[in-house]
Chains A and B, each alone.
Chain A
């Protein structure tokens, strides 16, 4: 304990060095855990508040834990609102978008990764630069077009315009380039496989990790989206889950108790999908960034 206390960094005994390392370790973990609390706190607080009696949500001083804990908020939400219908519509829309997006992006990504064809670079750049077109730019004309064509139904307007995201194609291309050996493709061709058969039998199975990543990304995007459904869907019978919660929060009567319960329930599917496929999602998202 005597060594090293007054020394400069140059000559530290092994014990002092270990002590110093231990101190910096402790500092590191303190930082990371504090940060974890900051990120988790609002969500934990919402979870806790969703079990509070209506008066306690706004009680002063605020209680960290609900006492008494009650299920009234959940009961109120489920009894007075078509919650299951919101959930169903959101889920169906998200699942259709996801399946279509995964297939279409895999096809296009495969083509950009493994074929040589005329105009490829130009087409790729056109695709890539569409990422920079702000949603706000097309939102007004797109809505006008769909309204004129009477296509502002959830299953069309919430799905079809978004089933081939350029980001997904880019991600698939990055994956396909790394994970599909050209020799395998040629071998299958020699065996008489058609190009689409190649895609279905060889490429899709090899892309599976990337498909998972894109799938989660696409599901979450669709399931959580609010702005576009807010614009397009006008019939309360067609509300998606975020729209339903937004309606509970209506301008005049802010039903915080029900909103909190709804928020907790709405977060469950997203978190579930995320936790089940977290590894693929995080790796898939970063594949493009690191390799470009």
Chain B
């Protein structure tokens, strides 16, 4: 059974009466001395309680389920590693892996550099309306994904969509079946990812850029460095910590991409935009193959963990030396 977590740590609240005058230590009860060493543990315990109940236990349950065949009713049937064997032979699974790989590469290779470029533009000296631009670019993340993808669905509609209409009027061609043909559907999902996340990443890069000491740029100017060399020799090295942070976050979250393809194309047409996370969702909640879904989850976990470790190692993030 799960009890709701305490919202406040149960620590004494009453203050002991202060003894005026002498600086002699106030009455230090056992509790007053103890609580100082116990406090940090009490303060972090709600997190670890929830962590255990809603993260650790599910992972263990998932590991168990991944070795069973189960449709949600009755008792799970133990099948050993068969789910994993089936997965590795499942064409749909590999399609999902391929698509997810495409999304990851795209966010790393296009969305991140685009965000850096925009941040660089926003960081221009004496720019007016910087906050307005920053806000407007950030806004796509604020709005519910259901709203965004519905609007995008209308926007990219083959027959009625604004995009095809404009394309027709301006360039004389149109009728791209954005959502209905496998290649274009992938492009559409990728455009949605770009639209939704670029502004979000921009604010991180902008914050990083604003932290670059101005003297470094002045020194570079005196040395006669052009904009390209300034960017390469001053900006990029100073941005290393931010870039590392963003890269790890982006990597870990884009491996799990789900909402964009699921809401925009339901993974279709066929399975052309299906992601691994959606593969798991489909197996678990639409096809009642809970064991199979759990096995795919375990593989995704291993992949994300390995990629995350690799990225942290390469970029040197997340080390805490205190």
Contacts and interface: CB of A to CB of B under 8 A. Distances in A.
Given A32-B133, A149-B1, A292 B281 contact: no
Interface in A176-225: 189, 191-197, 199-200, 220, 223-224
Interface string B134-175: 111111101111111011101100011110010001000000
Given A163-B5, A292-B318, A136 B305 contact: no
Contact of A196 (B13, B41, B140): B13
B107 to A, nearest CB: 15
B12 interface: yes
Contact of A42 (B152, B259, B305): B152
A282 interface: yes
Contact of A136 (B11, B151, B277): B277
B245 A288 contact: yes
Interface in B212-267: 241-242, 245-246, 252, 255-256, 258-259, 262-263
A140 interface: yes
B277 A140 contact: no
B111 interface: no
Given A136-B258, A141-B65, A62 B58 contact: no
A133 B52 CA distance: 13
Given A139-B284, A160-B5, A164-B46, A111 B297 contact: no
B203 A286 contact: yes
B88 interface: no
Contacts of B67: none
A40 interface: yes
Interface string A272-288: 00110010001101101
Nearest to B3: A160
B293 interface: yes
A112 interface: yes
B136 A226 contact: no
Interface stretch (B79-87, B117-125, B176-184): B117-125
B59 interface: yes
A108 B46 contact: yes
Contacts of B293: 140
A140 B51 contact: no
A84 interface: no
A136 B280 contact: yes
Contact of B204 (A57, A127, A259, A289): A289
A199 B43 contact: yes
B290 A144 contact: yes
Nearest to A138: B58
Nearest to A37: B136
Nearest to B306: A132
B298 interface: yes
Given A192-B15, A192-B26, A290-B242, A245 B136 contact: no
Nearest to B26: A192
B178 to A, nearest CB: 14
A130 interface: yes
Contacts of A123: 44, 48
Contacts of B187: none
Interface string B1-34: 1101101110111011010000000100000100
Contact of B145 (A136, A224, A271): A224
Contacts of A105: 47
Interface string B40-61: 1111101110110111011101
Given A110-B43, A111-B40, A132-B252, A36 B133 contact: yes
Interface stretch (A43-51, A66-74, A75-83): A43-51
B37 interface: yes
Given A132-B308, A140-B294, A263-B150, A121 B320 contact: yes
A130 B53 CA distance: 13
B143 A138 contact: no
Interface string A221-250: 001101100010000000001100110010
B39 A191 contact: no
Contacts of B139: 39-40, 43, 271, 274
Given A39-B199, A289-B245, A145 B57 contact: yes
Contact of B144 (A36, A137, A259, A270): A270
B91 interface: no
B145 A141 contact: no
A164 B50 contact: yes
Contact of A35 (B62, B137, B259): B137
B301 interface: yes
Interface of A: 28, 31-32, 35-36, 38-40, 42-43, 45-46, 49, 57-62, 99-100, 103-105, 107-108, 110-112, 115, 117, 120-121, 123-145, 149, 151, 160-161, 163-164, 166, 169, 189, 191-197, 199-200, 220, 223-224, 226-227, 231, 241-242, 245-246, 249, 256, 259-260, 263, 266-267, 270-271, 274-275, 278, 282-283, 285-286, 288-292
6 contacts: A28-B121, A28-B124, A138-B55, A140-B290, A169-B47, A286-B203
Given A138-B297, A140-B284, A144-B61, 16 more contacts: A32-B121, A32-B133, A39-B137, A42-B155, A60-B165, A62-B165, A120-B40, A139-B284, A140-B290, A141-B294, A192-B16, A224-B144, A226-B259, A278-B135, A289-B245, A290-B204
